[in-house]
Structure 1
Amino acid sequence: MLDRLSFPQPWLSLILFVTWQFLSDGISGGSLVLGLILAWGIPQMTQGFWPDPPAFINAWRMPAYLMRVVRDIVAASFEVARLILSPRPVRPAFVCYPLELEHPLAITILASTISLTPGTVSADVSDDNKLLLIHALDAENDQEVIDTIRNRYEKPLLEMFR
């Protein structure tokens, strides 16, 4: 009985509650009650879509990872602009990236990070979750792309999820 009254995804519930309070026209008793009902009800209804709870072991490393990603997005934006404006032809390449990550959420975060960074797009994940197909706008060689992604993104994610 108490299991049905609990919050199956507490972080999602907190985000939903805070978002509802921002969207409502001021904080009142009614918005607090409705926010709590939504924060409890939506995770209850979507519980079947959350088969594995996120397995963050070192979640405290996430802010540093996010700062690195933001810094890389800004730097890559300038690099892509410089590349487009230069007369040198680009060297696009598809790279098969061997994944060390195993958790589906970690693979999704890595693929999203790659796609958010200008100049690279994650195109596909193999059925066995061992390879990630990446398109790089300008790559001197495949190993350079692999080493950069492994050192800048995958190693910190491995530390967070192992």
Structure 2
Amino acid sequence: MAFQIVINLIIAIMWMFLGESYTTPSFIAGYLFGILILYLLRRLIPGKFYFSRVISIIKLVLLFIKELVLSNIAMIKYIYSPKQIAEPGVFALPLDVKSDWEITLLTSLISLTPGTLSVALSDDNSKLFIHAMNIDDVNESIYDIKNSFEKAIMEVTR
């Protein structure tokens, strides 16, 4: 992946020099042209096409922003409702992510989302214990986390 980024930067710089235009728009045009060239030659260059990982990172950030906004709206509704009924609890989330980096990212995303908090990690790193402010259905909560954050993290890191 780093090799592809270096090649892309070289193509962008060469584009600027050949066009004799040393401006930011010229560099960006060369960079986009380099992405196109790398995409067309992806079978000849070792490794997975790096821009697909960049797109996965953007998807993860957008997913986090969406979940952050939705959970903030849910917390505001809870705070301002006259009848505050909450079912807080702790549940165990079986983990599909394995590396320390993936687990750290998942726990950070869960803890930064209002209404949930990563409490503990099992000794064998197979379960994450999460405290949620309102648990209607534990299986639904597990399913939501697995199909949103955990899936997006695995797309980025693998």
Partner SS for 1:132: strand
Is structure 2 residue 115 aligned with structure 1 residue 116? no
Structure 1 unmatched ranges of 5 or more:
1-56
Give the percent of matched residue pairs that are identical in Structure 1 and Structure 2: 32
- Which of 101, 107, 132 in structure 1 is aligned with 2:103? 107
Partner of 1:149: 145
Partner of 1:72: 67
Cα drift, residue 59 of structure 1? 3.1
Partner SS for 1:134: strand
4+ runs deviating over 3 angstroms: none
Partner of 1:59: 53
> Could you tell me whether the CA contact under 8 Å between 1:98 and 1:130 is conserved in 2?
yes
Cα drift, residue 85 of structure 1? 1.9
> Could you tell me whether the CA contact under 8 Å between 1:103 and 1:161 is conserved in 2?
no
Distance in 2 separating the partners of 1:124 and 1:104: 14
Partner of 1:95: 91
> How high is the TM-score relative to the length of structure 1?
0.62
Give the length in aligned residue pairs.
106
Partner SS for 2:124: coil
> Could you tell me whether the CA contact under 8 Å between 2:53 and 2:155 is conserved in 1?
no
Cα drift, residue 161 of structure 1? 2.1
CA RMSD in angstroms, aligned pairs only: 1.4
Q: Pairwise mapping of residues 9-88 of structure 1 onto structure 2 (< 5 A)?
A: 59-60=53-54, 61-86=56-81, 87-88=83-84
Distance in 2 separating the partners of 1:160 and 1:67: 13
Structure 2 unmatched ranges of 5 or more:
1-49
**Could you list the per-position Cα deviations for residues 91-113 of structure 1 after superposition, in whole angstroms to 9, with x for gaps in the alignment?**
10101000000011011000000
Distance in 1 separating the partners of 2:92 and 2:152: 20
Distance in 2 separating the partners of 1:161 and 1:125: 20
Partner SS for 1:155: helix
> Could you tell me whether the CA contact under 8 Å between 1:98 and 1:132 is conserved in 2?
yes
Task: Compare CA radii of gyration and give the structure with the larger one.
Answer: 2
**Could you list the per-position Cα deviations for residues 89-143 of structure 1 after superposition, in whole angstroms to 9, with x for gaps in the alignment?**
1010101000000011011000000000010001111111100000000010211
- Which of 135, 140, 144 in structure 2 is aligned with 1:139? 135
* Amino acid in the other structure paired with 2:76: A
> Could you tell me whether the CA contact under 8 Å between 1:80 and 1:118 is conserved in 2?
yes
* Amino acid in the other structure paired with 1:96: A
* Amino acid in the other structure paired with 2:71: A
Partner SS for 1:111: helix
